Amino acid sequence: MSKLEKTQKERELAQRIKKDLIEQHGMLVFGKTLYQVLGFTNGDAFRQAFKRGKLPVAVFELEGKRGRYALAEDIANWLASRRMTVNVQEQRGGVP
């Protein structure tokens, strides 16, 4: 697959993920949904990664609101980019 094809597939995947996230959770993702979609098993692990500056997407606070938020679009782009790093061997369950 050429780099252009991979980029196009990544964009399409990000759009599908974004659409699903927005339909289910809205433009802002927060709370349990946020840490789960980023792959954290619990809020404590998420908070620890936040303190260490290790979150894969921009997370922010909103004035007058509790908790941290991320844009569905940022999450979708990150998930799609991670997915596109998997090579063909790994997709088939083989050893790279």
Residues 6 or more apart in contact with residue 89 via CB below 8 angstroms: 95, 96
Quote the tokens at residue 44: 């404590």
Average of pLDDT values for 86-92? 60
State the pLDDT confidence band at 6, using cuts at 50, 70 and 90: confident
Task: State pLDDT tens for residues 61-84.
Answer: 999 999 999 999 999 999 999 998
Q: Are 66 and 45 in contact (CB under 8 A)?
A: no
- Model pLDDT, residue 4: 81
Whether the pLDDT of residue 96 is over 90: the answer is: no
pLDDT over 60 at 55, yes or no: yes
